Amino acid sequence: MTTSSSAEAAQQGRPWWADATGYEVYLRSFADGTGDGLGDLRGLRERLDHLEWLGVDLVWVTPFYPSPMHDHGYDVADYTGVDPRFGDLADFDALVAAVHARGLRLVIDLVPNHTSSAHPWFAAARSSRDNPYRDYYIWRDPAADGGPPNNWTSHFGGPAWTYDEATGQYWLHLFLPEQPDLNWRNPAVAAEFDAILRFWLERGVDGFRIDVAHMLVKHPDYPDLPLAAEPQRSPQGTTSEHLSLDHIYDVDQPEVLDVYRRWRKIADAYGALLLGEVYVLDIDRLARYVVDRDGLHLSFWFAPLHLGWDVARLRTALREGAAVAPGSVSWVLASHDRPRPPTRFGGGDLGRACSLAATTLLLGLPGTPFLFQGEELGLTDGELTLAEAQDPVALHTGDPRAGRDGCRTPIPWEPGAGHGFTTAPEPWLAFGRRTPADTVAVQRADEDSWLHRYRALLAARRAHPDLRTGEAVWLTDDGPVLAYRRGAAVVAANCGDEPASLDLPEGTWTVRFGTDRQREAAQVAGAVDLAPTEAVILTRE
Ligand code: NOJ
């Protein structure tokens, strides 16, 4: 079954995801259907009403596979199973059926860069140097001084190599030691994943979100990384050894594109979507993954998610994504890995207003936008103490704000104990001090809530085909207002802190969506005035 907007796309020869609005479900924190404090597949199935009511088309669910959970499921011990804490394969099948019955699509998370160290492949690989599985992973002899083979670092801190006493070599892990990297130069690994893709496609999934899709292949010589000319900064503004290196050999190697050419043939036979988490902030490099029509169908474009409320940088990020890879980027402002946008944009109602304005801009651009669960509620990061932290990044640094827990706290469905998320005495991760006004129940009862505004925005995108087809033509090159025209639609936001005005193309324009909902249905001509953080979608009949 298809949604109204994806059916329309199909009729016009565009793929179903071209018109979709996606929604990321961070499974552990969405809804607990079994009362153990952890979100699960049953809980998600029971809450699909919310997603259908909100008006999304495509649900991406984070990993549910058997895992020791060192990285909360991004350490997979069995690619074709379901961890009992999340349910079983019957629950998965029931979820697929329920999603499809509502005309929605389901995309699952595939984690091909690394396995869990508890995966049987790694246990075999570690057992001896001549085990047939040894070459599924990346092993190197110690350097002359006995230390790691090169200066590569883990994303989570410390060296990217761990020494195996029993076999006298180091294994590579670009994340935790418990997440050994697979050797994608070994054809046997590629063959294993062909079968994994087919396994889930046969079970009815509509596509894959590919974890760290730019990282699978490494430089064959494993050279030391040079220092970066300009060190990057974490979302908290800190730097680290990892951020000070120029990652030219450990990620984004040209051969990784061959993996997606191979997968494309498999996915296309099922009409399924390949959506990459290509964490490359240079749009020309990112475009290589999507524009040749034989690689990934879509990639997330993370530049907007890295920004504070900075109109010049936001303008550049949006224009680049829309121009260099038109229709092939997935727009995101939030994820389970970064501070929530209202927090990044200053917190409170001001941060929420900035987030809604930025989302309005993203939703009309060529490409497939995604919301992250809780974005529709205007949630800021949950406030957690170090004792409440769960993320390995927080535990490693001893700083709860350095970790990713703040954006991962469970969804507050309703006020009160358990917040309608769980019946267990405690959720797996604390709620982070939510108020009744943060909850779905309270916001649904209030037509003026953030939740209703996000819903109205999604409805406007669905109702106006011009917002989903054709080129985006920018109407401003500088100043506080970001605005573009697509066919007979104009999308505009005032990203400054003073009132501003946008000159409109000729004709009379109707407000189809306004962050100030009182303006909807009003007609304007000549120019539209916008208060600070106000955004509108206008159409001309
Ligand atoms: C990206 C995922 O989004 C993140 O949560 C995870 O820790 C890393 N990849 C490693 O799999």
433-447 per-position pLDDT tens digit: 999 999 999 999 999
Of 365, 346, 366, the closest CA to residue 495 belongs to: 346
Ligand 1 mean position, distance from CA 288 (Å): 22
Ligand 1 atom 4, closest CA: 337
Give the mutation target among 62, 69, 70, 71 for probing the ligand 1 site: most ligand atoms within 8 A of CB: 71
CA–CA dist 105, 52 (Å, integer): 11
CA–CA dist 436, 419 (Å, integer): 9
What was the pLDDT predicted at 237?
Answer: 73
pLDDT digits (tens, 9 = 90+) for 296-329: 999 999 999 999 999 999 999 999 999 988 899 9
- By residue count, the chain amounts to 541
What was the pLDDT predicted at 11?
Answer: 74
* Whether the CB of 111 sits within 6 Å of ligand 1: yes
What single-letter amino acid sits at 211? D
198's enclosing H/E stretch is: helix 187-202
Q: Give the dihedral sign, CA 334/356/45/39.
A: positive
What was the pLDDT predicted at 183?
Answer: 98
| H helix intervals, 293-424 | 311-324, 341-344, 348-363, 392-397
Index of the ligand 1 atom closest to the CA of residue 113: 11
Q: Give the dihedral sign, CA 319/325/327/331.
A: negative
Ligand 1 mean position, distance from CA 508 (Å): 47
Index of the ligand 1 atom closest to the CA of residue 335: 3
Exposure string (b/e) for 93-115, b if CB count within 10 Å is 16 or more?
eebbeebeeeebbbbbbbbbbbb
What was the pLDDT predicted at 276?
Answer: 98
Ligand 1 mean position, distance from CA 361 (Å): 27
* Whether the CB of 69 sits within 6 Å of ligand 1: no
CA–CA dist 435, 412 (Å, integer): 9
What was the pLDDT predicted at 86?
Answer: 98
Residues of the chain with pLDDT under 70: 1-7, 235-236
What was the pLDDT predicted at 114?
Answer: 98
Evaluate whether 211 touches 112 at the Cβ level (below 8 Å): yes
DSSP character at residue 303:
G
pTM of the model: 0.97
Index of the ligand 1 atom closest to the CA of residue 279: 1
What was the pLDDT predicted at 10?
Answer: 74
Q: What are the DSSP calls for 426-495, one per residue?
A: S-SS---S--GGGSHHHHHT-TTSHHHHHHHHHHHHHH-GGGTSS--EES-SSSSEEEEEETTEEEEEE-
Ligand 1 atom 10, closest CA: 74
- Strands 58-61 and 22-25 turn out to be parallel
| H helix intervals, 364-439 | 392-397
* Whether the CB of 302 sits within 6 Å of ligand 1: no
What was the pLDDT predicted at 236?
Answer: 66
Q: Which residues are catalytic?
A: 211, 277
> What rounded mean pLDDT belongs to the chain?
95
DSSP character at residue 244:
H
What single-letter amino acid sits at 339? P
What was the pLDDT predicted at 240?
Answer: 87
